A and B are shown apart, each in its own frame.
Chain A
Amino acid sequence: MSKHHVEMTINGRRHASDVEARVSLADFLRDDAGYTGVHVGCEHGVCGACTVMVDGKAVRSCLMLAVQADGSTVTTAEGLAAADGTLHPVQQAMLEEHALQCGFCTPGVVMTLAALTGDNSKPSEEQLLAAMSGHVCRCTGYQGIRRAAKKLAAAGDKV
């Protein structure tokens, strides 16, 4: 069983560690780097709770090995808000639209929306909603998530 040295940038900070090959990126972010905001809901890539950004793209961190993220830039929900605590526009929209209840699926939803609306991209409401089909929420019936997506798409139009 092989162990590997990995270095990656997580939420703007360099993180270096030694990790067993079989450890998922999700578990590595949680246990090694301390980002427990990455939630593990199914470990087979369906529920989306573990979604993070790797090199700007939304990916299921339970379906990546930590060792595969060596050299990458990773962002989790903990890394979105500004240093002064101002919420990221995605977080703000979800707060305003009551888009969460228990909060377990939430960081994953936040990361997909953040990845799609980042970097001056202007996704349509349809594109955001389509990407939301990669997330399972058992609490909200997706009502607030829909409203947040609508709000974010409209905000993109205004820019």
Chain B
Amino acid sequence: MKPAPFDYIAPATITEACSAIAEAGGGATVLAGGQTLMPLLNLRMSQPFIVVDINKIPELKGIARVNGGIRIGPMTRQCEVIESEVLARDLPVLVEAVRHVGHHQTRNRGTVGGSIALGEPAAELPATAVALGATIEARSIRGTRQIPATEFYLGPYMTSLEPDELVTGITFPDWPKGHTTLFNEVAQRPGDFALVGIVGALVIESGIISRVGLGWFGMGPTPINARSAEQMLRGKSLSEIDLQAVAERAVADTSPFDDHHASAEYRRTVGRRILARTLRDALKIREAA
């Protein structure tokens, strides 16, 4: 399985990269970590005219505090997320999610931006971005824009990125110190895409849920923001929560696929359960604390 022929450049700046992408008129594909793109190239499922390698652009790296949040450069390797002290302290659910992405070896090359920009419906990172309310920065020769993650994903591997746009940053808003994290993934083998997964965060103040973000992965053509379930939780005290009802509502917002790995009904059945259990476990910890 060898790729079809393509041209290749590795620009040193974002500007150069955006120019190259624009010049290719839709025939360019961006190479970040390569863990998803290379198989597509090898299988000839992707046949770009030119591959624009963004690994050599320093401006795309880095994890930095910005006003009210943390900005992660798209070329941040997944292994760097796991090793980051800042993220461990401020965005633990992102670290937890990345631990489930692929394998040790793929995390050495795979990037945050690559996963975010791909939009695999069963992947952990897009759902985390959606659940936590991240914003994705996209840049082209025409300028820069900010896209809320909840508006970014349109379908399987389809995002609202224009053909000439490059993801140049993913900013997660701050969640207060000590917030409750939610993560549960059902996958047959480590590193597999999830059959169904839930990710999110809660803030509990004086026994009331003041803020909540919940996202599904593997439950539809895109990561799904479980808005109705969030509404059922927001403003409620821990004792008032009907977990089964929340889980039902959360699943009702999804439209999972039948595929080779699982049926839609399996996903709904198990999704309901893991959401209820994950919430219960997280809230119990809160109650105990």
Contacts and interface: CB of A to CB of B under 8 A. Distances in A.
Given A43-B42, A59-B108, A134 B103 contact: yes
B106 A134 contact: yes
A20 interface: yes
Interface residues of B, number: 32
Contact of B42 (A44, A57, A58, A67): A44
Given A44-B39, A68-B55, A21 B104 contact: no
B38 A62 contact: yes
B7 A2 contact: yes
Interface in A103-159: 112, 116, 130-131, 133-134
A131 B31 CA distance: 25
A62 B1 CA distance: 10
A60 interface: yes
B33 to A, nearest CB: 8
Interface in B1-31: 1-10, 31
A24 interface: yes
Interface in B58-117: 79, 102-106, 108-109
B105 A24 contact: no
Contact of A45 (B10, B31, B39): B39
Given A131-B103, A133-B103, A22 B41 contact: yes
A63 interface: yes
Contacts of B42: 24, 43-44, 62
B105 A58 contact: yes
A24 to B, nearest CB: 7
Interface of B: 1-10, 31, 34-35, 38-39, 41-43, 51, 53, 55, 79, 102-106, 108-109, 189-191
List of 4 A-B pairs having minimum Cβ-Cβ separation, nearest first = A134-B103, A21-B8, A1-B5, A44-B39
